[in-house]
Amino acid sequence: MSQRYVIHLPVVAGDLTAAQRLARVVGRWMTVLPMMDPGEMTVSEEDQQFLRHRVFCDQLMPGGRRCLLRAGHDGECTRRIRR
């Protein structure tokens, strides 16, 4: 059995889009922490937590870090935010 633990941090948003946007902001800010894996970040409805929506692209980048763009993005993966 793995000795890794996951922190579940409940935050409430008004709809799925707002929840994903907030999760991306928090996830990008937290990438300063080496133990943060934004590729695993998901959001769900409060009463349907088994149905999760991925926030970030899960593509592994060179160096072992993950793409910082939203899940389902168009174009190439990157570690930099496109403006």
pLDDT in tens, 11-57: 889 999 999 889 888 888 887 887 777 777 888 888 888 888 888 88
User: Residue 54: its pLDDT value, please?
Assistant: 87
Q: Which two tokens stand for residue 36?
A: 């943060």
Say which residue the tokens 């009463």 belong to: 47
Round to whole Å and give the CA distance between 29 and 80.
13
As beta bridge partners, residue 53 has: 43
Q: Report whether pLDDT(59) > 80.
A: yes
Contact 78, 63 (CB under 8 A): no
51-73 residues labelled b (16+ CB within 10 A) or e (exposed): eeebbbbeeeeeeeebbbbebee
pLDDT score at 82: 58
Taking CA atoms, 51 is separated from 7, 11, 44, in Å, by 18, 16, 6
Predicted confidence at residue 15, as pLDDT, reads 92
